[in-house]
Amino acid sequence: MAEPASVPLRVAIVGSGGMAVARAERIAARSDMQLVTIAGRNPDTRAALATRFGVEHTHDWKSTVARSDVDAVIVATHPDTHAPMGAAALAAGKHLFSESPLALTTLDAVRLLRLADQRGLVIRVGHTSPLRPGPRLVREQVAALGGALHDDLVMHFPFDLRAGRDAGFDQRISGHPLVYAILLGYPAIYARGPITHIAAAATMEPAGHAFDRAVAVVNLRFRDGGLATITYRRGFDGDSESGRTVICRQGVVDFSEAADHIGITDADGGRMLLIPDGDPWNDELSEFVAAIREGRPMSVSAHEAARVVDIIDAARRAADAGSAFAEI
Ligand SMILES: NC(=O)c1ccc[n+]([C@@H]2O[C@H](COP(=O)([O-])OP(=O)(O)OC[C@H]3O[C@@H](n4cnc5c(N)ncnc54)[C@H](OP(=O)(O)O)[C@@H]3O)[C@@H](O)[C@H]2O)c1
């Protein structure tokens, strides 16, 4: 039974790192959500976060996700824990907001979808990258220029020499580098339609679970004939830029992660468009609440989030096979 809109959705957050803080800040500013408790393994960061927002905290995520005074759980931990924590929350009858990815394997993603379907619960995955104002503007302009022929997206973290333990450099925690190639390259995939071919390659140094640097490259072909190349680099020194060049049927769109504008080149010449302000992290929460309360569709459905896991899985297999893989 849907709750009246005036009753806030009571939320528990699992994790107390960067995204837990980002979501908690937004929840605190909303009247339709209420933060109830925080569960995390890090006693310092979880206590600081809980104190800041005046809520309880505990190390015990299992009992937290089953609390009777919690309607929804935000899983803001590292990728290795998303599937088990998400499954426990759904099994306890809670709506699930999971940071990306939904899971690290297709099997786990399908299990989560099934659990949610059986219990009539909403799953939202925080696939924020295509919802940021820059990528949104790029998408509009690409459509106005007749669609993409080739989207060349580069994610290169500047001054990224590995210092100490970092989850992003450990495959046991964050998965293969191709996981983040697809997650951060998702703006080049979002709303492009079915993928018909995928080829991928990755290299890590040293080879093994934990690496110091990695490069992952994914080549995609879509059903409409358009192409995309996603390049993801971690662990290199220097001030390199991340961005995109989208070659369209009637022009070119340029986007740099560091700029406040995008560039358009078409038959009328070159011009710049200012990127508007926006808060996609809050927009995702609004969509989550509206899906629970009013059954509204979300810009990234649970099935689309599971498809992202399928794409990651296909990229892994393509890289292992050293050749192209078709049809997703
Ligand atoms: N939507 C977006 O724009 C966006 C942006 C960045 C990241 N993300 C996603 O958000 C997720 C978290 O990223 P982040 O940047 O917030 O990472 P982070 O700052 O490292 O935070 C992760 C948190 O999860 C905790 N944690 C990990 N394993 C746990 C466990 N087994 N039990 C309890 N707590 C556990 C960590 O505790 P410790 O302090 O002990 O490690 C830490 O508090 C990732 O899946 C990432 O892909 C999304």
Which tokens is 94 given?
């809670």
Residue 58 identity (one-letter amino acid): T
Please tell me the predicted confidence (pLDDT) of residue 325: 63
Protein residue closest via CA to atom 37 of ligand 1: 42
Three-state SS annotation for 269-307: EEEEEECCCCCHHHHHHHHHHHHHHHCCCCCCCHHHHHH
Q: Are 200 and 178 in contact (CB under 8 A)?
A: yes
What does the pLDDT average to over 287-305? Answer: 98
* CA 16 to ligand 1 center in whole angstroms: 7
The H or E element spanning position 59 is none
Please tell me the predicted confidence (pLDDT) of residue 323: 66
- As beta bridge partners, residue 58 has 39
Q: Which of ligand 1's atoms lies nearest the C-alpha of 80?
A: 28
What does the pLDDT average to over 265-285? Answer: 97
Q: Are 295 and 37 in contact (CB under 8 A)?
A: no
Banded pLDDT at 208 (limits 50, 70, 90): confident
Question: What string of DSSP letters covers 200-216?
Answer: EEEEEES-SSB-SEEEE
Output the CA–CA distances (angstroms, integers) from residue 250 to 73, 220, 225, 244, in the order listed: 45, 21, 15, 17
**Residue 2 scores a pLDDT above 60:** no
Q: Are 78 and 101 in contact (CB under 8 A)?
A: no
> Between β-strands 243-248 and 251-256, what pairing exists: parallel, antiparallel or unpaired?
antiparallel
Summarised one tens digit per residue, pLDDT across range 304-322 is 999 999 999 999 999 988 7
Q: Tell me the chain's radius of gyration from C-alpha atoms.
A: 20
Residue 72: burial class (beta carbons within 10 Å; 0-12, 13-18, 19+): buried
Please tell me the predicted confidence (pLDDT) of residue 76: 98
Domains, the chain, in order of start with CATH, read 9-121 (3.40.50.720), 133-276+310-326 (3.30.360.10)
Which of these, 246, 13, 290, lies nearest to 140 by C-alpha position?
Answer: 246
Output the CA–CA distances (angstroms, integers) from residue 27 to 53, 69, 126, 290, 296, in the order listed: 10, 16, 14, 14, 20
Which of 41, 44, 124, 308 has most ligand 1 atoms within 8 Å of CB, for mutation?
A: 41
Summarised one tens digit per residue, pLDDT across range 87-125 is 999 999 999 999 999 999 999 999 999 999 999 999 999
| Number of DSSP helices (H) and strands (E) in the chain, helices first | 10, 15
Which of these, 96, 35, 86, 39, lies nearest to 64 by C-alpha position?
Answer: 39
- How far is residue 149's CA from residue 143's CA, in Å, rounded to a whole number? 11
Please tell me the predicted confidence (pLDDT) of residue 313: 96
Phi/psi for 162 (5° steps) reads -65, 125
Please tell me the predicted confidence (pLDDT) of residue 164: 57
**Residue 66 scores a pLDDT above 90:** yes
* CA 15 to ligand 1 center in whole angstroms: 6
Banded pLDDT at 204 (limits 50, 70, 90): very high
- Residue 241, Cβ neighbours under 10 Å: how many? 11
Which of 14, 19, 234 has most ligand 1 atoms within 8 Å of CB, for mutation?
A: 19
- How far is residue 129's CA from residue 286's CA, in Å, rounded to a whole number? 16
Q: From its phi and psi, is residue 79 left (phi > 0), alpha (psi between -120 and 50) or beta?
A: alpha
- As beta bridge partners, residue 135 has none
Tell me which residues have their CB closer than 6 angstroms to ligand 1.
Answer: 15-19, 40-42, 45, 61, 76-79, 81, 99-100, 126, 128, 167
Please tell me the predicted confidence (pLDDT) of residue 265: 98
What does the pLDDT average to over 201-218? Answer: 92
Please tell me the predicted confidence (pLDDT) of residue 207: 86
- Residue 250, Cβ neighbours under 10 Å: how many? 11
- How far is residue 244's CA from residue 150's CA, in Å, rounded to a whole number? 10
Banded pLDDT at 57 (limits 50, 70, 90): very high
Which of the pair, 168 or 149, is modelled with greater confidence?
149
pTM: 0.96
Residue with tokens 């995609």: 220
Tell me the HSE value of 118 on the side-chain side, using a 13 A CA sphere: 11
